[in-house]
Structure 1
């Protein structure tokens, strides 16, 4: 299922990661596990943040996917199912048939 993850990182905790190679390693591992369809990074309310869209096969993946964000980046995380436009159109067709 296509999921959208929003993470807002703790500024102090991420400031303490001063080694660019360490930051690259953390994000490389996180993005490698998520294998995102899309990933965007921007400031949000004065903090570092990201929105990542990825495919989740099983809810049991959540701890593996989210723990690095919590532990290493002090992130506040939201995750929810989402659709692209093709999904929306297909869903609307099905909804019309079900009426």
Structure 2
């Protein structure tokens, strides 16, 4: 199943992580761990925000991913299933 992880990092914790050099490695680790097919970074609501698109067949991996981001960056996280246009077409034709 293809999933999208959206995370946002509180400003104060993000500033600390930037200064101590832990932000880059934490984000690189999650991108690597998920074997992301795409990852995008922006600012939303004044907070550093990322979108990571990945596939997994094992939902048990989600707590591991979540805990890593919670622990490293105090991130708020949403993970939702996503569809490609082909997935949507298949679903609508059923």
TM-score between the two structures when normalised by the length of structure 2: 0.89
| Whole-angstrom distance in 1 between the partners of 2:23 and 2:9 | 13
Offset of 1:23 from its aligned partner? 2.6
Bigger radius of gyration, 1 or 2? 1
Say if 2:23 and 2:73, in contact at 8 Å, map to a contact too: no
| Number of residue equivalences | 93
TM-score by length of 1: 0.85
Residue matched to 2:74: 74
Listed as ranges, the gaps of 5+ residues in structure 2 are none
Partners of 1:2 and 1:35 lie apart in 2 by 12
Structure 1 residue 84: Cα displacement: 1.0
Partner of 1:88: 88
Q: CA deviation at 1:73?
A: 0.9
Deviation, 1:24, is 2.5
**Would you identify which runs of 4 or more consecutive aligned residues in structure 1 move more than 6 Å?**
none
